[in-house]
Amino acid sequence: MTGADAMVKCLEKEGVQVVFGYPGVAICPFYNSVLDSEIRTVLIRTEQNAAHCASGYARISGKPGVCVVTSGPGATNLITGVATAFADSIPLVCITGQVNSSMIGSDVFQEADITGAVESFVKYSYLVRNVEDIPHIFKEAFYIANSGRKGPVLIDIPCDIQNEAIGRFTYPENISMRTYKPTVEGNMVQIKKVIREIEHAKKPIICVGGGVTLSGAVDEIRSFAEKYQIPVVSTMMGIGVMPAKHPLYYGMVGNNGRRYANRAMNESDLLLMVGARVADRAVNRPDLITEDKVLVHIDVDPAEIGKNVGPTIPLVGDIRHIFDAVLGQEFKTEDHSQWIESLNGYRNTMKEKRPQIGEEYADPSAFIPKLAAQMDDDAVYVADVGQNQIWSTAFYDIRDGGRFLTSGGMGTMGYSIPAAMGARIAAPKRQVVAVCGDGAFQMSMMELGTMAQHDIRIKIVVMRNNYLGMVREYQHFTYHDHYSVVDIAGKPDLDKLAQAYGLGYLKVDGHCDMDEQIRSFLKDDSSMLMEVMVDPTDLVKA
Amino acid sequence: MKRIYSVLVENRAGVLCKVAGLFSRRCFNIDSLAVGETDSKDVSCMTIVSSGDERTIEQIEKQLNKKLDVIKVKTFAESSSISRELMLIKVKYNPGSRRDIMETCEIMKAQIVDMSTTMMMIQICDQPERIQLFLSMLKSISIVEVARTGTLALQKCMDSENGK
């Protein structure tokens, strides 16, 4: 048995069913060994997308996504994908080939110090120096990636170590690391302190973040909100914790969020921040938020508490465990009906303004709800980055069982198509729709080849305005229409492009029957490309 | 505000880089940094002196604890610790300055550890501020080279402290 065989065996032991990657000489021993296993390999068209695929896969399957690439440029290409996963706490195990051990440090062909380069974007990294270390390193890597605050772990393995014979393969049953013991159970004294605040609050609100989904606490949070009649708002990463039409849900907060959601959060007297970082996009002035309210910050990562906002009542632990514990306690709260009534008032009266749109164009605020209405309840909606993302957060009404994926922290353009592919592989029966702009589409359109080759069926919506719309909008407001480098000249004919890859193609503009086009788009399981003509002057903020 | 972090880490390749990288990436200051093995071969102790406001100081501790190579972080103010720094300093002397240098060394409890016909090397091990003082006392003569370890510190002994 060689090191490469051992690597494959480790993946099998971890129940890995698919790896996303791109081979090269330094990782060839692994790709040679994986051929003899049941593990499916997906050849991606560029390494960054291998990490995004693994991210989409991880978010839907709940298991770490695995990507395997070669040394040098293969490894460095992966970095943006790793950083994207790190920012959103998505569990990945990234395996990179490395040049032979004896060559490391001499700048040979395709050598890159990848563990050094990704240091600030990974939860942990390994450079394997001894073939016998492979089993426990893999065991640790999977454990670290998918526990505590989840995130990517990178394992760099020199080619000679993959080829070396391994004496004896035993996969560790358990792992115990003296430097890594994430807090799971919440401290009962702190939990009781929080309950006392909830008892006395007149205008409490819960703000849910991505951590709620990551800890599998969606049911607990909903039960808690419903039992005590506490309104809920969310960050972008928290979309989907509550169905959009839930009576207690008031939408996404932040500079691109609903005005009534921000108002609800601002007027509360108790804010339960759950699995959210209180980052700049969600809370404009974190330093001011505690001026007139009590802030309870619940997170599995103690370093997030007090990083952006303070002072708070900190509660460290896994959200599901904590809310289980809270739901296990009996207590009474104030009557919140008046508070809820006023929030309902804001929701009904504070309508978002929309700009005037040319009649030849499709209005995203009309198109996205129509798309949502025809999508399956448990569909996966993957929004890219840009205006399309903000419109998606505003107009996509997610239902119970649905998922909303996007690159929240890093804002990585091109995320939606590969992430949707990964999601579809994790759930081959679920409808998966990627929504992107024409800028982001051109950052990952090479994956149409991967979709065709591996029969990965997803629906792609390209919102086309021939501009980098979000930056254009920024230049509209900040530089008074002094547009610089936002016109995406060169116009790929998406109809022809779809044909080239054997995809179905549909077009939506201001004149067509939108519902009919969406029906054709979603009618069967095949991959489809839909081009939605969007007014270049349209804005996310009117 | 000055703060001393005594950080026990896994004695492995690359750990120093990871810890130092954490400081630079998050714009935390490092005033000094000293690393060495402890009584157990697989554990190193890093003594880091840093400064910043209260939130920064708390974040440094939390971020250090988050690193997977960090076993334990102890943090304390200078006042509750015993701190020492070692300095080696090479100076040029002449018949006129020789006596002055030797007297300064005597007053400051520094030792002359090496010499030639024109130069001598002095060693001093003391509290960081005394090291600074000694250095300033020698400013008038010609300093050739200086090497300092950076601060080493441990929390003062307390009877309640129970081994490690």
CATH value at residue A236: 3.40.50.1220
As a whole number, mean pLDDT of residues A401-428 equals 98
Q: What is the predicted pLDDT for the residue at A231?
A: 98
Q: What is the pLDDT of residues A425-453, one digit of tens each?
A: 999 999 999 999 999 999 999 999 999 99
pLDDT at B162: 56
pLDDT of A278: 81
Is B137 within a domain? yes
Task: Classify residue A178: in a domain, yes or no.
Answer: no
> In this predicted model, what pLDDT tens digit does every residue of A243-281 receive, in sequence order?
999 999 999 999 999 999 999 999 999 999 999 988 877
Enter the DSSP assignment of A42.
E
Domain boundary among B45, B61, B76: B76
Asked whether residue A454 carries a pLDDT value surpassing 90, the answer given is yes
3-state class (DSSP) for residue A71: coil
Asked whether residue B96 falls in the same domain as residue B72, the answer is no
Residue A412 lies in a domain: yes
Q: Is residue B99 part of a domain?
A: yes
pLDDT band at B39 (very low <50, low <70, confident <90, very high): very high
Give the pLDDT confidence score for residue A206 in this predicted structure: 98
B164 pLDDT higher than 70: no
Q: What CATH number is associated with residue B98?
A: 3.30.70.1150
Question: Across the interface, which of A115, A178, A310 has its CB nearest the CB of B55?
Answer: A310
Task: Describe the crossing of helices B15-25 and B54-66 by its angle, rounded to 10 degrees.
Answer: 150
Identity of residue A377 = D
**The domain boundary residue, chosen from B57, B76, B95:** B76
Could you say which residues from 324 to 343 on chain A have a Cβ atom under 8 Å away from some Cβ of chain B?
A: none
Domain co-membership, B43 together with B96 = no
Q: Which residue has the tokens 């609050």?
A: A201
Q: Which residues share a beta bridge with B51?
A: B2
Task: Please state the rounded mean pLDDT for residues A324-334.
Answer: 95
- Alpha-carbon distance A35 to A396, whole Å? 41
CA–CA gap between residue B31 and residue B21 (Å, rounded): 14
Helical H segments across A283-404, by residue range: 319-328, 337-349, 364-374, 387-395
- pLDDT above 80 (res A286): no
Same domain, A105 and A203: no
Q: Is residue B121 part of a domain?
A: yes
- Alpha-carbon gap, residue A12 to A38, rounded angstroms: 8
Adjacent-strand bridge partners of B45: B8, B36
Count of all residues that appear for chain A in the document: 542
Same-domain check for residues A135 and A270: no
A407 and A334 together in one domain: no
CA–CA separation, A416 and A398 (whole Å): 17
User: B15 pLDDT band (50/70/90 cuts)?
Assistant: very high
In the predicted model, what is the mean pLDDT of residues A416-424?
Answer: 98
Can you say whether the dihedral through the CA atoms of A51, A54, A60, A62 is positive or negative?
negative
CA dist., res. B58 & res. B61, Å (int): 5
User: What pLDDT does A283 receive?
Assistant: 79
Q: Do A313 and A430 belong to one domain?
A: no
- Which of B76, B91, B110 is the last residue in one of the domains? B76
Same domain, A369 and A342: no
What's the pLDDT tens digit per position in A209-218?
Answer: 999 999 999 9
| SS3 (DSSP) at A171 | coil
- Is A454 within 8 Å of A42 (Cβ atoms)? yes
Establish if B71 touches chain A: CB-CB under 8 angstroms.
yes
Distance CA A98, CA A230 (A): 52
Asked whether residue B95 is assigned to any structural domain, the reply reads yes
Size of interface A-B (CB pairs under 8 A): 39
Nearest to A405 by CA among A395, A415, A414: A415
Q: What is the 8-class DSSP label of residue A380?
A: E
CA distance linking residue A129 with residue B138, whole number of Å = 49
Q: Is the domain of A47 the same as that of A158?
A: yes
B57 & B117 share domain: no
Same domain, B107 and B51: no
Average pLDDT over residues A86-109: 97
Evaluate whether residue A444 is within a structural domain: yes
- Whether residues B69 and B126 fall in one domain: no
Residue A487 lies in a domain: yes
Percent of chain A with pLDDT over 90: 93
**Domain check: are B50 and B108 in the same one?**
no
Q: State mean pLDDT over A285-305.
A: 86
Domain match, B90 and B47 both: no
Quote the CA–CA distance of B141 and B160 in Å, as a whole number.
48
Does the structure show a pLDDT above 80 at A284?
no
Q: What is the CATH number of the domain that holds A95?
A: 3.40.50.970
Range of the domain at B127: 82-153
Mean pLDDT of chain B: 92
Q: Please determine, for residue A458, whether its predicted confidence score (pLDDT) is greater than 50.
A: yes
Q: How many CA atoms lie within 13 A of B16 on its CB side?
A: 11
The number of domains in chain A is 3
> What would the DSSP string read from start to end of A265-305?
HHH-SEEEEES----TTT-S-TTTTTSSSEEEEEES-GGGT
pTM of the model: 0.94
Q: Which of B13, B66, B68 sits opposite A303 (nearest CB)?
A: B66
* DSSP 3-state of B124: strand
Q: Closest Cα of chain B to A119: distance in Å? A: 7
Q: Count the neighbouring beta carbons within 10 Å of the beta carbon of residue B23.
A: 17
Answer yes or no: is A33 within a domain.
yes
Same domain, B135 and B100: yes
pLDDT at A488 over 60: yes
Does the CB of B66 have a partner CB in chain A at under 8 Å?
A: yes
Same domain (yes/no): A153, A197: no
* Domain termination residue (choose one: A321, A349, A377): A349
Would you state the pLDDT for residue B161?
61
Is residue B37 in some structural domain?
Answer: yes
Domain ranges, residue A407 = 364-533
**Domain assignment of residue A359, yes or no:** no
pLDDT at residue A401 greater than cutoff 60: yes
State the amino acid at position A417 in one-letter form.
I
Please report, rounded to a whole number, the percentage of residues in chain A having pLDDT higher than 70: 100
The Cα-based distances of A403 to A60, A122, A434 in angstroms read 8, 25, 12
Taking the C-alpha atoms of residue A522 and residue A500, their distance in angstroms, rounded to an integer, is: 21
- Tally of domains within chain B: 2
B16 in contact with A at a CB cutoff of 8 Å? no
